[in-house]
Amino acid sequence: DAGVTQSPTHLIKTRGQQVTLRCSPISGHKSVSWYQQVLGQGPQFIFQYYEKEERGRGNFPDRFSARQFPNYSSELNVNALLLGDSALYLCASSPQGAHGSPLHFGNGTRLTVT
């Protein structure tokens, strides 16, 4: 079975631009979460979606938004990019929204903002 897939693998953007990152969960998984991992730090929670509804949001500005589609895939959008948005963006899926469900992570999208 395919794992969590994220695209693109790498991305370079300029300050002020907008970016969309994509994630396909493991087949049968209905919950998708997004995390930001700045170099040298642990991942930080951005969003969780379950059954196409937002279930949780971390401490990120409104420039960050996400959505989940009927096939449970998800997109993370970041507007008005700042240099500080440069990071590895990780997507994770789980079978259900319960907090004890182990998360299965993708390989991430490396975003560089210049």
- Give the residues lining the site for other proteins (CB under 8 A): 3, 33, 35, 40-46, 48, 55-59, 88, 90, 92, 99-100, 102-108, 110
Q: Which helix (H) or strand (E) holds 94?
A: strand 87-94
Nearest distance, CB of residue 52 and other proteins, angstroms: 16
Residue 47: CB minimum distance to other proteins, A: 8
- Is there a cis peptide before residue 43, judged by omega within 30 degrees of 0? no
CB of 16 to other proteins, least distance (A): 27
CA distance 79 to 57: 17
Measured from the CB atom, the residue of 45 and 64 that comes closer to other proteins is: 45
Question: Considering beta carbons, is residue 60 or 75 the nearer one to other proteins?
Answer: 60
Nearer to other proteins, 85 or 106 (CB): 106
User: By C-beta, is 13 or 55 nearer to other proteins?
Assistant: 55
- Do residues 66 and 75 make contact, with C-beta atoms less than 8 angstroms apart? yes
Q: Dump the DSSP string for 15-66.
A: TT--EEEEEEPPTT--EEEEEEE-TTS--EEEEEEETTEEEEE-S--TTEEE
In the complex, minimum distance from the CB of residue 114 to other proteins, in angstroms, rounded to a whole number: 21
